[in-house]
Amino acid sequence: MSRNLIIGALLSALFLGLAALSFVWTPYDIATLDIPGKLQGPSGAHLLGTDHFGRDILSMIMMGARSSIAVAVVAVGIGMAIGIPLGLLAAARRGSLLDEVIMRGNDLVFAFPSLVIAILITAVFGASAVNAIIAIGIFNIPVFARLARGAALPLWERDFILAARVCGKSATRISVEHILPNITNLMIVQGTIQFSLGILAEAALSYIGLGAQPPTASWGRMLADAQTLVSIAPHTALVPGFAILLMVLGLNLLGDGLRDWLDPRLRVVRA
Amino acid sequence: MIRYALGRLTSLILSLIVASIVIFAVIEVIPGDPAAFMLGVNARPDTIAALRAEMGLDRSLAVRYADWVAGMLRGDFGQSWTYKTAVSELIADRIWVSLPLAIYALALSTLIAFPAGIYAASRRGSAGDVTIMGATQLGVAIPNFWFAMILVLIFAINLRWFSAGGFPGWDNPLQAIKALTLPAIALALPQAAILARVMRSSLLDMLGEDFMRTARAKGLTRRQALWKHAVRNALIPVLTIIGLQFSFLLAGGIIIEQVFFLPGLGRLIFQSISARDLIVVESVVMILVFVVILVNFLVDLAYAAVDPRLRARA
């Protein structure tokens, strides 16, 4: 296993762990305000300090990890659940009108500036975590559809697929039983990358007030609150920023590491 | 080439049509009446009816869509409900902040990424390569609006080299460029990281090509072969990424404009969203989509112009 994979897995596990832990325990209750104790720097009582309402920042980070991860995971899930079947279908009916329609539809979604459309969606339907998920999820669909099609096409030329066809299996069965297992690794790697992009997108949307709404904690929201305080209490801006940075970095390293690890050809080259 | 260009043009027009339908539909499916949405919960029924008439909401969907599109083709984007001026004027004012910012950021991104990518590829595996690649990993993971806040903290608040936000206008170009510098750096850095990675991997592919061996065999030095043959060919995929980045920078500027209080399209969108001025939101989004699709189209053409294989395939 490469160093990338290990560092990436550890960083990702750290934040997933913090998010999971927040369901049963946080150092402080983030619903309780403590105005006299506001904007304290890191100390023994508050490891990462307190924010402008005197809330414990570590607890906020833990709760924020939960919303960031939830939004990004569901958005990736939407992309996979719709995109992969579309890609498999396009590959199974390659060259047909259906294939053409699916791929041109993909190009079209790619052509949209995702952030602008996400803003439009959340502005019109109201700012909420659910709408942020939909807005981010839509743009994951063509990513997986294109990748699944691209990976499935060469497989259709292989002998074992021919064997399956000779056995009388339908295109759908072949896609599910033979193509899908062979592209799973690739989808997992891409899923990790999209996961990290989702974390960044969620942070951006909630920073501009179009993501999770207060009192739900979110990293982007924390940064928005910290913006006017950055000169008097820099830690309020530094901590959530580093949380996003480390989480995204961890997922990217994990994705890179997984790709190298899951692809035996690359392993041979490196060895 | 002409057939290829016509094909791309058809898809450009199709994309724009579908985009306009989608944007129109999103505005239309707002739960309830757009006029009621714009006026808020406490509006009187007769005010809503008046606004409905003013916005032409009493006409059929198809008529309104055709009207909107026809207006845009003439450069008429309708009247802003809150600003009481033509939307096209609002946009014309703001574009002189957003567009220069995107171009500035793109220039910075390219200036950082090219040398970094070329250096890393030509010294593959060296300490310099490892450092640059490590830095790009950080670069792609940094949320640009947070990086912007850090820049403000260091260069505006502590060092006082730049102002923390605002825009003085183009009357004094030097001041204007200075005001756009921190935002442009914040926008450019994550993009530069991506571009440097693409540049490096594209160049590495080229260094392994047979024509490089031929170039060396005919007596070119490593450096000559690198610059004359590898870098030139490696630029082709890089060009595509630069095109994509421009549209990303234009749209990504929306958030950075919020951080620096720049009066660009981004702030216009947000102010219109909070004022529920849907006509402005609709038009600005359509313009951004148009620019993005247009840039992608131009990149496709440029790509085909430099790579004859692509033309043949189409």
Cβ distance of A226 and B149 shorter than 8 Å: yes
Domain count, chain A: 1
Tell me, yes or no, whether A211 lies in a domain: yes
For residue A100, give Cα distances in angstroms to A87, A104, A142, A149, A220: 11, 6, 13, 12, 39
Contact A52, A38 (CB under 8 A): yes
- pLDDT confidence of residue B311: 64
C-alpha A234/C-alpha A226 separation (Å) is 8
Domain range for A99:
3-17+60-270
Tell me, yes or no, whether A77 lies in a domain: yes
Tell me, yes or no, whether A45 lies in a domain: no
| Partners of residue A56 on adjacent β-strands | A50
Residues of B in contact with A196 (CB under 8 A): 141
Cβ distance of B141 and A252 shorter than 8 Å: yes
- B94-313 homologous superfamily: MetI-like (1.10.3720.10)
- pLDDT confidence of residue A268: 44
In which residue ranges of chain B is CATH 1.10.3720.10 found?
Answer: 94-313
Tell me, yes or no, whether A32 lies in a domain: no
Tell me, yes or no, whether A258 lies in a domain: yes
Q: What is the CATH number of the domain that holds A93?
A: 1.10.3720.10
Can you say whether residue B84 is alpha, beta or left, with left for phi > 0 and alpha for psi between -120 and 50 degrees? left
Tell me, yes or no, whether A42 lies in a domain: no
Residues of A in contact with B259 (CB under 8 A): 227
pLDDT band at A152 (very low <50, low <70, confident <90, very high): very high
Contact A68, A218 (CB under 8 A): yes
Cβ distance of A120 and B11 shorter than 8 Å: no
C-alpha B277/C-alpha B264 separation (Å) is 16
Residues in chain A whose Cβ is within 8 Å of chain B: 104, 107-108, 111-117, 119-121, 123-125, 196, 200, 203-204, 207-208, 220, 223, 226-227, 230-231, 234, 237-238, 240-241, 244-246, 248-249, 252-253
Supply B20's token pair: 């306009």
- pLDDT confidence of residue B310: 63
Locate the chain A residue with the closest alpha carbon to B275. A123
Nearest residue, CB atoms, A248 vs list B141, B145, B157: B141
Tell me, yes or no, whether A39 lies in a domain: no
Quote the ipTM score.
0.86
pLDDT above 80 for A110: no
- pLDDT confidence of residue A124: 75
Cβ distance of B30 and A245 shorter than 8 Å: no
Tell me, yes or no, whether A68 lies in a domain: yes
| pTM assigned to the model | 0.86
Between A23 and B29, the more confident residue is A23
- pLDDT confidence of residue A263: 73
Contacts (Cβ under 8 Å, ≥6 apart) of B309 = none
pLDDT band at A9 (very low <50, low <70, confident <90, very high): very high
